[in-house]
Structure 1
Amino acid sequence: MTRKSLNASRLQAEVNRRLHRIDEIVEDGVKIRVPRPQGQDPDKSGCNWTMKHFGNAIGYERFIDEVLTAVKAEYNLSDADEGKDIRSLFAE
């Protein structure tokens, strides 16, 4: 399966969205802090990013692992929009 590319902010948002749709997390009313993804050399599966140190995650590690596994299989980290000079958006 070919992975789509997302920048760090969008990957973080996707993981956050998926985590906070899990019934147990919704029912418990917990807000898990999702860290920004960190680039890495591609692993065995070809994924080029990882996330570590989720906040308020005790007891929810299984759900985090499941979401990360799914998102890592679908997306790679792209740095295309990260650090872009804002002036370039206005053709200056």
Structure 2
Amino acid sequence: MIRKMLNASQLQQEVNRRIHRLQEIVDDGVKITVPRPKLQEPDKTGCNWSMTHFGNALGFERGIDSVLKAMRAEYNLKTEVNDSGNPFGD
């Protein structure tokens, strides 16, 4: 399967959104701090990013791990920067 590409902010936002939709987190009203993804060499599955050190996550590791597993199968971190040096793009 070809992964969709997201930049670091988009990946962080999507992981945050999915984590905060987990029923146990909704039920407890917990706010989990989601770190920015870190670029890495592609692993054996082809995923090129990881996330560690979630804040306020004690007791919710299983749910967070399931979200990360799904996200790592679906998305890769966009690495190229499309910057022409001209803010007007011409």
Give me the TM-score of the superposition, normalised by structure 2. Answer: 0.91
> 1:90: Cα distance to partner?
2.5
Residue 20 of structure 2 is matched in structure 1 by: 20
1:60 corresponds to which letter in structure 2? F
> 1:60: Cα distance to partner?
0.3
Q: Pairwise CA RMSD of aligned residues? A: 1.8
Residue 90 of structure 1 is matched in structure 2 by: 88
1:32-73 CA deviation, whole Å, 9 max, x = no partner?
000000000000000000000000000000011000000000
> 1:18: Cα distance to partner?
0.3
Residue 53 of structure 1 is matched in structure 2 by: 53
Unaligned runs of 5+ in 2: none
Identify, as 1 or 2, the structure richer in helix: 1
1:9 corresponds to which letter in structure 2? S
Decide whether aligned partners of structure 1 residues 46 and 91 sit closer, same or farther in structure 2, where only a CA change above 3 A counts. same
3-state SS, counterpart of residue 5 of structure 2: strand
Q: How many residues align?
A: 90
2:34 equivalent to 1:72? no
3-state SS, counterpart of residue 46 of structure 1: coil
Unaligned runs of 5+ in 1: none
Percent of paired sites with the same residue = 62
